[in-house]
Amino acid sequence: MAAYHVVLIHFPIALWMVSSLCIFIRAFDDGVLGQAMDRALPVFLVLGVIMGAIAYLVGLSVWPWETLSSTPLGRNHMLMASWSLAYFTLLAFIRYRHGPAIWQGLSRWIMFLLAGIGVVLVGITGTLGGHLVGNYTEVSELLRRFGWEVYTTYYLPDLTLAIIGVVTLVLLAIGLLGRNRSTTG
């Protein structure tokens, strides 16, 4: 299945990268080009999520779970792929749910920053996938200089997991409070 995964993964990578490009352009351009980018954006995002999910599932069958979960590069690839898929699902949902309203005020720049994070996530995922099949790039050297040796598993200590748990709860609270106010308003 490895060959199929390699073929399939090009689709979400391309779609997500183009989606991010659309967001970058739209964030700076309210004109015809920006409007055109925004109209295409939900299509690219949704297709990217669908193709990403398919490629992800095929990727899970490349190695047995025992192998995937025991190999540092395999673990890292799966972790980043999972986060990338979840992340672009979030972007797709937000754009689909709120339409052009996301370009109003501050949220436009939030979208800009989120697209940047998405590009980094997908870039790292692709880099790790390349390492797994023996195609190395200098991106791993860049990550190394920023503090992550890609040949070591990306995992967090319990304290950081607890901090993320608290942040998750606070974010949920912000969401629920915001929803209530919106509903009551």
Partner 1 sequence: MQNIKLTGAFALFSGALLVSWVTHGTGVVRDDPERNISIPDTLTVPLQVQASYNDQDIFFRYRWPSASMGIFHDILRYEDGSWITEGGGMPGPNPFGVHEDRVAMMLDDGSVPEFGRYGGYITIGDGLAGLTDEAPEEVTKYLPMTRNTLGQWDDMAPDSELAQLRSAGYFLDLWHWRGARSNPVNEADDQNVGAGRDGDAGEASYTTNWDSDISQPRVMFDIASAGYRALNWDDVQAGRVSQEQTYALIADAAVPYDPDAGWQNGDLLPRRVIRPGASSRGDIRAEGRWADGYWDVTLARALDTGNPVDDKILQDLGTYDVAFAIHRNATGGRWHYVSLPFSLGLAREADIMATRFIGTMPQWSDTWSDVTLFYPGQVTWPSLNSAVHGGASSIADRVPVRARHSPEQLAYYGVEHEFRTEIRRQWLMTLLAGILLIGAFGVALNATIVSRKGA
- 12: closest CA among 153, 119, 147, 98? 119
CA distances from 99 to 21, 46, 92, 94 (A): 17, 13, 10, 8
Q: Between the CA of residue 37 and those of 21, 33, 139, 161, 164, what are the distances in Å?
A: 9, 6, 28, 37, 34
Nearest to partner 1 of 33, 100 (CB atom) = 100
Q: Is 185 helix (H, G, I), strand (E, B) or coil?
A: coil
* x/- track of binding to partner 1 for residues 140-169 (CB under 8 A): ------xxxx-xxxxxxxxxxx-xxx-xxx
> Does residue number 86 form part of the binding site for partner 1 (CB under 8 A)?
yes
- The yes or no reply on residue 78 touching partner 1 (CB under 8 A) is yes
Per rule CB under 8 A, is residue 172 in the interface with partner 1? yes
Window 46-75: residues binding partner 1 (CB under 8 A): 63-64, 66-75
Where do contacts with partner 1 occur on this chain (CB under 8 A)? 63-64, 66-75, 78-79, 82-83, 86-87, 90, 93-94, 97-98, 101-102, 104-107, 110, 113, 117, 132, 134, 146-149, 151-161, 163-165, 167-172, 174-179, 181-182, 185
